[in-house]
Each structure stands twice: as C-alpha cells, then as structure tokens.
Amino acid sequence: MRAVVLLSGGLDSYTAAAIARTQRFTLYALTIDYGQRHAREVEAARAVARALGIERHLELDVDLRAIGGSSLTSDAAVPRHRDLKGTDVPSTYVPARNTIFLSLALGWAEVLGARDIVIGVNALDYSGYPDCRPEFIAAFERLADLATRAGVEGARFRVHAPLLALGKADIIRRGLELGLDYGLTHSCYDPLPGGRPCGTCDSCILRANGFREAGVADPVLLG
Amino acid sequence: MRAVVLLSGGLDSYTAAAIARTQRFTLYALTIDYGQRHAREVEAARAVARALGIERHLELDVDLRAIGGSSLTSDAAVPRHRDLKGTDVPSTYVPARNTIFLSLALGWAEVLGARDIVIGVNALDYSGYPDCRPEFIAAFERLADLATRAGVEGARFRVHAPLLALGKADIIRRGLELGLDYGLTHSCYDPLPGGRPCGTCDSCILRANGFREAGVADPVLLG
C-alpha cells in the first residue's frame, strides 16, 4: 500500500516515515520548499529520502514568503534562548502551513491511489502550533473524504501522525531502534553560514533537550 | 473588513468578488497559477482585479502539473461536446484543488487579520466536482478554526460561496446587475492559439448555455 509522507528534512518527519515503513507502506515523499529560512532542510530531506529508500521524492515550491506572517518566512528575528514551557503560539508559526502541506499531500495521494498520509507533527513537547493538535488532524481527515473524487467514491483517507503523543526523547529513542541516522537531519530554524545549527532557536533547544534526555549525542554536533 | 477572494479570471469568481464588495468587504485577491492549460486565465484575473478595484492582488505559483491527475494539469485531452447532465467526476477535476486554494487563502487571511474568504464555486449547474459542494465548504470552515492561531484565539472563519446555489444564467444576471464586464473574463479549459475560447469544452458549453438562458450575448465572443 502506498502512503504519501511529508518529509521536511527534520528529525520528526524522518522518524514518522520510518515508522510508516515498518507498517509496510510504500513511501512517496513530498517536500515543500516554502521559502523558509532553513532551505538547508531541503538538502536534508533529499538525504533522508535516499536513506529511507523512498519510492519517489517530489519537491514542490510554494513561496509562502509572499504571504508572510512568520519569522520563518520573513526577515523578522526568530526567538532565541526561550523557556519552552509557555503555551503562546510562537512567531515561528507559519499561517496555515500544515493545512497547505496536507492539502498538497492529499492531491498527490489521490493521484497515486494512496489513502494514507504521514506527517511528523507532535503535540506533547512544547510546540504551541495549532496545526499540530490531534483535533486538527481529525478535522483534516474528515475534510479529505469530502474534498476528493476518491472520497465521493467511498475512500476514507487517514492522516497518520505517529509522533503525536511522543516527547522528543521518545521520538529519538524510537528512531535509533529503527536504525536511523540523525546525522542526515536538520532542525535549526536559522542556521549559521555553512549550514550548522545555531543552537539557540526553539528547534535547536528542543532537539538538544531530546538528545540529552535520551542519553545520546546528537550526531549533527559531532565532528 | 477585509476578505480574501480567490480570483481565477473566470466568470464565477469575478461575480463572487463583486457580490462580496456589495457587502462592504475590502477585497484582497489571490490568484494561483497552478500550471493549468489555460494560463490565459491569469491575465484575465489581472484585468478583473483592476476592474474590481482590488486592494491588493497576490499571484502565487504552485505547480500542480508535478502532481498531475487531471486533464487540466497534464497533456491528456479535455472532454469535448459533452452532455453535462451526468454526475461523474470529470477528468478536468484537479485533485484537492479547492482544498489547496482555500488553504493558501486561509494563510493569507490570517496574516491580513481577515476572517472571511470568498470562493466562486457553484454546485447547482452540472459540475461533478466534490470540492464545490456545500458540505465541503462547511468542513473547511471547521478546519480553519482548528488550523490557525487566530482560531485558537477565538476567531471564526467564514468561507463565503455566494454562487453555491445559483445556476450559470442566474450568476450572469446578477453580475450584469452589478455592472460587471464579462468581456474581461476567460472560462475556456483549452483555448485556441491566441487565447480565444474553444467552444467545445465543458466550461465553454456551460458558459454558452448560461448566456443563452440569460438572453444576452457573451461579450468575449463579440468582435
């Protein structure tokens, strides 16, 4: 069975894809280059797709900088050194991003005859992103059945979010069990020249906390 | 109050936008160039936006040819000379198109502080498109509230589809009452060299039937 997996080049989507692979899905990876600061992510997505033995990897450009409204798609500063216990939606929230990404994945899934979409969102670690919550995922599944020819003909789409209830350390432990090479991934929102992670943005902090709690070194920071 | 209107360059979205203008919305028009055969539509969208006095007109490229699955985004032939009484989904259905378009409109609406999105879908004339049905529109509204920071903060998004229950002749009559110049619009799925409508695709047939029933000449076919 085919599944479309949204692959960003980060640690989460790599792990979500690997979990889907254990469920015997044939994976079709979709990477959206949306004009984010961290275009380095797209290179990481290619490396991850190769490592996973993806059936096909489709890259699409959708310039969300034209829409703006996020520190990831504008020249506004990304937050640094934050305490990630809050619940506010951070400035790195990109308006409707996961809705846009899932819609594109849905279109491709329908063309491929796939009924399954995989996304690496998680709601347990601090994120504050509205479009990472289980109720959002459930609402998208209902929409997908109404939106498509396949749905009219009786198909039921499923959005798999296998990391939804996992903390970052649990995600990393699960990925290491599956033999993943996290040295291929990229998480930083605003990398230094040369592509190395900044170490101070929310995404770097979450990642560092996860590796620390899992008791392993982050291969990206080695060597 | 601001509203984002999806403007294709066709007759329906022009009329829907004009109806929204009578409701005192300040209009922000979004046109998606998705690699459709009828790129002539995008030029029409610019002309229509000017005629409507749109506050801002944003054009976004999203290459749905990479996804395929439609005679509008591939080299497959578009259907010709069809009897439009059937209920099958036609080959001109573009997988998840309106979901993708509404998602992009939602992102922009959130950035603009708008809660209203206008789309020119209609379900009464034959269309067979699943993503033109009222239940799809309602499901998208529910999703929008869950997908966004604005929704988390209590906003309720509305998707206005003022043509949903109108036939093509009624749409044309309403537009003419509002003083619209349908000579600016383009409906054909597969225009002839030079951009003139083919006259035989579903969209041309629906348009011709609408003008005939409304008892007026289509200005695009004059001169």
Instruction: Among B59, B71, B121, B146, pick the best mutation site for testing chain A contact (most A Cβ within 10 A).
Output: B146
Single-letter amino acid, residue A197: P
d(Cα B146, Cα A131) in Å, to the nearest integer? 7
Helix ranges (DSSP H) in chain B:
11-22, 40-52, 97-112, 134-147, 149-152, 168-177, 202-214
**pLDDT tens-digit readout, A144-188:** 999 999 999 999 999 999 999 999 999 999 999 999 999 999 999
Residue whose tokens read 């600061």 = A37
0.90 exceeded by pTM: yes
Top-level class of domain B2-221: alpha beta
Q: Identify the closest residue of chain B to A111 by CA–CA distance.
A: B69
Q: What percent of chain A has pLDDT over 90?
A: 78
Residues with Cβ within 8 Å of residue B133, at least 6 apart in sequence: A146, B123
Q: Which residue on chain A is closest to B4 by alpha carbon?
A: A67
**Closest among B163, B101, B153 to B133, alpha carbons compared:** B163
pLDDT digit string (tens) for B83-136?
776 667 888 889 999 999 999 999 999 999 999 999 999 887 656 789 999 999
Tell if the CB–CB gap between A148 and B131 is shorter than 8 Å: yes
- The answer, for B107 touching chain A at a CB cutoff of 8 Å, is yes
Residue-wise pLDDT for A31-61, tens only, equals 999 988 767 889 999 999 999 999 999 999 9
Residues of chain B with pLDDT under 50: none
**Scanning every residue of chain B, which has its alpha carbon at the shortest distance from the alpha carbon of A93?**
B149
* Min Cα separation A136/chain B (Å): 5
Q: What is the pLDDT of residues A87-145, one digit of tens each?
A: 678 888 899 999 999 999 999 999 999 999 999 998 876 567 899 999 999 999 999 99
Q: How many angstroms from the chain centroid is the CA of residue B222?
A: 23
DSSP 8-state symbol, A117: E
